[in-house]
């Protein structure tokens, strides 16, 4: 296509918002994940997930996720049943985790998180922290069975499974401050 056509355009968000990820489901519905603040003095405090219909003319849902620290989203995907999966990082000790969370408490200054939102946007199917010190996430993918796979970085103490290939950071892994 030489001359693209604008299908739809919309303004949404809070006092200030910064979109981080966008994806589509099998029906063409549009999902946008962003960092949002709801007061002029807050700097991107929570995560927002917004879903529009495929035509872009109707908002299906818009939800917020976060605690009293800084919450950032870095990845978003949707499975075949239209459940949305988010991955990011948080400094919030009160980040909302579900009872079945792998890790319920923030350890260190910042941990990764992974969350699954049901297709109607009315509840968290799961939300868990992941980390041991200072983690940042990259992306997320979901397989046909609904298992989530995330990428990211860690400085130390990342929780590993039994018989993991490598359970501690490599010998040449060093952290530096700017």
Asked, for residue 175, whether it belongs to a domain, the answer is no
Q: What's the structural domain count of the chain?
A: 1
Could you tell me the pLDDT band of residue 44, with boundaries at 50, 70 and 90?
low
Angle at 99 between CA 96 and CA 103, to 5 degrees: 70
**CATH code for the domain in which residue 72 is found:** 2.120.10.10
Determine the pLDDT at residue 35.
82
Q: Is the pLDDT of residue 25 over 70?
A: yes
* Residue spans of alpha helices (H) in 5-56: none
Determine the pLDDT at residue 11.
54
The stretch 46-75 carries a mean pLDDT of 90
pLDDT tens digits, one per residue of 79-113: 999 999 999 999 999 999 999 999 999 988 889 99
Determine the pLDDT at residue 9.
57
- Tell me how far CA of residue 72 lies from CA of 47, 67, 114, 117, 143, in angstroms: 6, 11, 11, 16, 24
Nearest residue to 35 (alpha-carbon basis) of 52, 24, 50, 56: 50
Query: From start to end of 2-134, where are the E strands?
Result: 16-24, 30-37, 46-52, 59-65, 71-78, 84-90, 111-117, 124-130
Q: Is the pLDDT of residue 1 over 60?
A: no
**Do 121 and 61 form a contact (C-beta atoms < 8 A)?**
yes
Asked, for residue 6, whether it belongs to a domain, the answer is no
Could you tell me the pLDDT band of residue 38, with boundaries at 50, 70 and 90?
low
Sheet holding 59-65, edge to edge: 16-24, 30-37, 46-52, 59-65
For 117, the domain range is 16-154
Q: pTM for this one?
A: 0.82
Asked, for residue 161, whether it belongs to a domain, the answer is no
Q: Is the pLDDT of residue 172 over 60?
A: no
Q: In angstroms, rounded to a whole number, what is the distance separating the alpha carbons of residues 161 and 166?
A: 10
Asked, for residue 119, whether it belongs to a domain, the answer is yes
Determine the pLDDT at residue 86.
96
- Dihedral sign for Cα 157, 159, 162, 165, please: negative
Determine the pLDDT at residue 55.
86
Asked, for residue 79, whether it belongs to a domain, the answer is yes
Angle at 35 between CA 79 and CA 144, to 5 degrees: 10
Asked, for residue 160, whether it belongs to a domain, the answer is no
């Amino acid at each position: 296509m030489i001359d693209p056509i604008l299908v739809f355009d919309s303004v949404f968000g809070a006092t200030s918002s910064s979109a981080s990820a966008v994806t589509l489901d099998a029906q063409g519905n549009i999902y946008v994940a962003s960092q949002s603040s709801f007061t002029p003095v807050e700097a991107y405090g929570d995560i927002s997930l917004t879903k529009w219909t495929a035509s872009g003319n109707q908002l299906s849902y818009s939800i917020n996720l976060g605690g009293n620290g800084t919450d950032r989203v870095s990845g978003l995907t949707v499975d075949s049943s239209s459940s949305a999966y988010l991955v990011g990082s948080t400094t919030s000790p009160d980040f909302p985790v579900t009872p079945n969370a792998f890790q319920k408490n923030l350890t260190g200054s910042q941990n990764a998180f992974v969350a699954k939102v049901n297709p109607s946007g009315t509840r968290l199917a799961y939300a868990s922290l992941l980390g041991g010190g200072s983690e940042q996430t990259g992306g997320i993918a979901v397989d046909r069975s609904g298992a989530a796979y995330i990428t990211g970085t860690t400085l130390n103490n990342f929780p590993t499974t039994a018989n993991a290939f490598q359970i501690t950071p490599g010998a040449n892994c060093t952290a530096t401050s700017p």
